[in-house]
Structure 1
Amino acid sequence: MSAQSMDTDSGYAWCRLGITMLVAIVANAGMWAIVVIMPAVQAEFGVSRAEASLPYTLNMIGFALGNFAIGRALDRFGVTVSLILAALGILAGLGLAILSQSIAVLSFAQLIIGFASAVGFGPLIADISHWFVRRRGIAVALVASGNYLSGAIWPMVLAGVLENDGWRATYGLLALVTALTVTPLALLLRRQVSVQTRNLAQAVSVQNASSSGLSHRTLAYVLGFAGIACCVAMSMPQVHIVALCVDMGFGPAVGAEMLSLMLLGGVGSRILSGLLADRLGGVRTLLIGSTLQGIALFLYLPAGGLVSLYIVSLVFGLSQGGIVPSYALIVREYMPAREAGARVGFVLMATIMGMALGGWVSGQIYDWTGSYQWAFINGIVWNGFNIAIMVWLLLRSRPRSPGLTSSGPAPRPA
C-alpha cells in the first residue's frame, strides 16, 4: 500500500476538508463585513464616499500580502499555529476597529483584519492540497469557494445586527464568532501528512518543473503575471457592475443582484472546475476558464438590456469562478510540496493585486472615455495575455501524475 493511499483521499482527508471549509467561511468574514458597514461608517465619521472606501482598499492590500506571508508561515509552523496566530490578528483588528474614532484608524484596523483574514484563502488551499491527489481539484475548489460562501452568508447575517445595534456591535459579533470557532477548529487540524507522502509529492513536482525547463522562481513569476492579467480582466464586471447599472438607468439594487448572481455562479464554477481539473490538470482547466471568461467579457459589449445583462453576468460568473483555484493546482503540480504555502500564497497575492489594479484601471478608462466599452476591451486584452501564457506552458511541458507510487510513474496531462 502506498503512502498516498494511507494519507490522501482518505476518510480523514474528507473530514479535514469539511473543517477547513468552516474555518474559511468564518475567517473570510472580515473582508465582506467592511462592505456592509461602509454607509454607516461614512455617516458616523462624516466623510466622502471615496474616504469611506479607504478601509476596504487597505483591507484588500492586507489580504493580498497576508496570503503570501501567512503562506510562508504555514510551510514553517503548520496550519494550526498559523490559524491561531491569524485568529489573534483578526481579533486585534476588530478590537481596534470598534475603538476607532477616525477613518484613518479604522483603515489601519482593516489592514490588519485583511492581512490576518487571508489565512482563510491561500494558506488553507495550500494545506488541503497535501491531503488529496486523485480529488485534489475538487478539494481545492471547495476550500476556495469558502471565500464566496462567506460573501454570500455574512452580509445577510450582519445586516440585522447593523440595523438594530450599529456597526461596532456588528464587529463585536464577528470577534465573538471568530474566537469561538477558528481556534477550536484549528486544533482539529494538527495532524500532518507522512514524510513519505510529502517526499513523493516533492519528487513529482520536481519532475514536472524540469519538464517545463523553468526554475521554480521563474515559473512563480510567470504564474504571478498570468494571475495579474486574468484578474485585471475579471475585476471589470465584479467591481463596476453596480456603477454600470446605475449609468444605464437600472439602479444600484439591480447591480447588486447581478453581483450576487456572479458570486453564486462563481461557486458553481469553482466546483465544476475542480471536478474537471481532477481529469485534465490545472493548466488545461485554467486555459478553459480563461477562454470562457474572455468570451463572457466580449458578450458584455453588445449587452444593453436588463435581461441580457442578467444573462451575461451569470455566464461570466460560471466562466471565471474556477480560474483562481486552478493557479493553486498548477503550483502543486510544478513546484516543491515543502514550499506549497509560500508559492500558492505568492501567486494568489498576484491575483488579488490584479483585482485591485483592474478595478482602478477600469475606473480611469471610464473617466477618460465616459463609457465602460473600452474598459471591457482592456479586460479582453489582458485576458488574452493569460490565455497565451497557459498555451505556452502547456506546449512546453508534460507534467506527471502526483499519484506516483512505488510501482512506477503514470503519465497525466497538464
Structure 2
Amino acid sequence: MPNIAAIWLDDGRSTEELARAVHAALKQCEKTPAFVPDSPQAWTRLGLALLIASIGGVGMWSVVVVLPGVQAEFAASRGAVSLAYTLTMFGFGLGGIIVGRITDRFGIVTAMSLSIACTGIAYLLAGASTTLWQFQAVYFLIGLGTSATFAPLMAEASHWFSRYRGLAVTIVAAGNYVAGTVWPPLINLGLEWLGWRGIHVAIGLFCAITMSLLLLVLRARMGGAGAHDHAQAPPPPLKLAISTNALTALLCIAGVACCMAMAMPQVHIVAYCGDLGYGVAHGAEMLSLMMGFGIVSRIGSGFLADRIGGIRTLLLGSLAQGFALTFYLFFDSLSSLYLISAMFGLFQGGIVPSYAIVIRETMPAREAATRVGIVIFATVVGMSFGGWISGVIFDATGSYTAAFANGVVWNAVNIAIVLGLLVLARRRPAVA
C-alpha cells in the first residue's frame, strides 16, 4: 500500500503534483484486493462455514430421533407425527430461496444471523409445544432456519475460491451429512436425561450460542456484515445457448428427477430390510453406511469438478447412481444389500452439490445464492415426492421391485437433461 503521508511530506512538489500523487495513491488502494480467492484466509472461512453447517444441520435430523417420544405423549399416529418431517423439508426448501435472496442482497452474515435466530427460537418453541399441531408448525420454522446452512452457504463459499471452487462447495455441503452422522446419537443420549422437550431446548440454546460465535469470527474474516464477495467475481467460465431462466428450469427438472431416484433407497431401505426379514436394525445400518460414504462422495466430487467441470461431474454422478440403483432390482441378500448401499452412498453424495457448481460456472455470481436455492428446493420436492410415490407403488404392488424400477426411470430423465446441457455448454474465451 502506498505511503500517502510520505507523499504529503514531500515538499519538493507543487500542490497540483501532490494532489495528483495522492489521487493516484488512493486509486491504487482501491484496486488492491482485500481478499484473494484460494488464499489461507479463504480456507479459514471454509472451515468456519463447515462448522456452522455441521451444527445448524441438526434441524434435518432431530425430528427423526424424537418421533417415538412425541408420538407417545400426544397419542398420535406415526403418520401424523411424521408430518413434522415433511414440513421441515418444505421449510428447508422454501428457506433456501428466501435466504438465498437475502444473501445476494445483504450478504451471508445478515442472512445467517436471521436464520440462527429463527432456529434458536423455533427449538425453544418446540420444547414448549402443548399440542401436536404446534410441534408440526414449529418444525416448518426449524427447516426454514436450517436452510441457510446449505444452499446459501454453498453459494457463498463458491465466491471464496477459483481453483478449488468445486471442492469448497462440496465441503460445505458435507456439513449436512456430518450433522446426520453426529447429531442423532447425541440427541438419543440426551433423550435419556432430558426427554424430548428438554433436548429441544438444549439444542436451541447450543445452536444459538455456538453458531453466533462462529458467525462473529466469520464476519471478522469477511470485513463486516455487509461484505459481498461476489461484487468483484469474474464472469462465469461457461456459456450455454439458452437463457439463465431456462437453464434454471432445466436444472430444477433434473433435480426433481435425480432425487426421485435417490429417495427410494434412502427413505425405504429400513422398511425394505424389515419386509425381507432381516430386521430394521440392519436397514438402519445400511442407511448410516449410505450417509458415511456420502461424505466421501461429496468431497470426491468436489475434487473431480475442479478438474472436469460441474456438468461432467453431475453427469458422472447421475450415471453412477443409476448403475447402483439397478443392482437393487437383482440382488436382495443381506450381504449384497450392505454392499449396494455403500456403493449407492458413494455414488450419489456428490450429485446435489454439483448443481451449485454448475450454477456458478454458468450464471452471474450476484444471482448465485438465489438460483442455488431455487434448484435445491426442486431437489427437496423430488426427495419428498419420491419417498411418497415409492410407498404408493409398494402398496399397489406389494413389492419394492416396481418402486426401484420407477427410480431407474427418473434417473434416466436426469441423465438425458444433463447430457443436453453438456452439448450446449461451451467455454468462454479467456479475458486478457
Instruction: Please state how far the C-alpha of 1:5 moved relative to its aligned partner.
Output: 11
Shift of 1:77: 1.2
Larger Rg: 2
Give the C-alpha shift of residue 176 in structure 1.
1.6
Select which of 226, 230, 236 maps to 1:204: 236
Give, in angstroms, the shift of residue 217 of structure 1.
0.7
Please point out which of 139, 146, 149 is paired with 2:168: 139
Question: Residues 116 and 195 of structure 1: is their aligned pair in 2 closer, same or farther, counting only changes over 3 Å?
Answer: closer
- Offset, 1:204: 2.9
1:189 is aligned with what amino acid? L
Give the Cα separation in 2 of the matches to 1:219 and 1:4: 32
* CA RMSD between the two structures: 1.9
Structure 2 counterpart of 1:182, one-letter code = M
Matched with 2:258 is: 230
Q: Who is 2:180 aligned against?
A: 151
Question: How has the CA–CA distance of structure 1 residues 104 and 150 changed in structure 2, closer, same or farther, with 3 Å as cutoff?
Answer: same
Q: How far off its partner does 1:31 sit?
A: 1.7
Equivalent position to 1:261, from 289, 293, 310: 289
**Alignment-derived partner of residue 323 in structure 1:** 351
Which of 331, 349, 372 is residue 400 of structure 2 equivalent to?
Answer: 372
1:249-288 to structure 2, matched below 5 A, reads 249-288=277-316
- The residue aligned with 1:290 is 318
Paired position in structure 1 for 2:248: 220
Q: In the alignment, is residue 7 of structure 1 matched against residue 36 of structure 2? A: yes
CA deviations on 1:51-81 (whole Å, 9 max, x unpaired) are: 1111111111111111111011100111111
Offset at 1:3? 7.9
1:96 & 1:400 partners in 2: Cα distance? 51
Moved more, 290-299 or 151-160: 151-160
CA gap 1:318/1:85 in 2 versus in 1, 3 angstroms: same
SS in 2 for 1:7: coil
CA contact (8 A) 1:70 1:119 kept: yes
CA contact (8 A) 2:322 2:408 kept: yes
Q: Is the 8 A contact 1:7 1:197 kept in 2?
A: no
CA distance 1:224–1:273, change in 2 (3 Å): same
CA distance, structure 1, for counterparts of residue 388 and residue 334 of structure 2? 25
Contact 1:98 1:171 in 2 (8 A): yes
Which contiguous aligned blocks of 4+ residues in structure 1 show a shift greater than 4 angstroms? 2-6, 192-197
Distance between the aligned counterparts of 1:27 and 1:195, measured in 2?
22
From 267, 276, 297, the counterpart of 1:248: 276
Task: Give CA-to-partner distance per residue, 1:297-350, whole Å, 9 cap, x none.
Answer: 000011121000000000000010000000000000111100111011111111
Partner SS, residue 148 of structure 1: helix
Over 3 Å counting, the alpha-carbon distance change for 1:5 and 1:373 in structure 2 is: farther
Please name the residue that 2:192 is paired with. 163
C-alpha contact 2:230 2:366 (8 A) present in aligned 1: no
TM-score (norm 1): 0.93
Distance 1:38 1:200, change over 3 A: closer
- Where 1:64 maps in the other structure, the secondary structure is helix
Q: Percent identity?
A: 48
Which range is displaced more, 17-26 or 211-220? 211-220
1:237-284 deviations in Å (ceiling 9; x for gaps): 000000100000011111100000000010000111110000001000
Distance 2:376 2:105 in 1: 19
Deviation at 1:194, TM superposition (A): 8.6
What is the CA–CA distance in structure 1 between the aligned matches of 2:253 and 2:304, rounded to whole Å? 24
Q: Which residue number in structure 2 is paired with residue 112 of structure 1?
A: 141
Q: How many residues align?
A: 399
Q: Which runs of 5+ in 1 are unaligned?
A: 409-414
How far off is 1:196 after superposition? Answer: 9.3
Per-residue Cα deviation, 1:179-200 (whole angstroms, up to 9, x for no partner) = 2111121122331699897444
Q: Which runs of 5+ in 2 are unaligned?
A: 1-30
**Counterpart of 2:100?**
71
CA gap of 1:163–1:200, structure 2 versus 1, over 3 A, is closer
Structure 2 distance, partners of 1:265, 1:250, is 22
Length-normalised TM-score, structure 2: 0.89
Q: Specify whether residues 200 and 32 from structure 1 end up closer, same or farther in structure 2 by C-alpha distance, changes over 3 A only.
A: closer
Q: Residue 115 of structure 2 contacts residue 146 of structure 2 at CA under 8 Å; is this kept in 1?
A: yes
- 2:395 partner amino acid: D
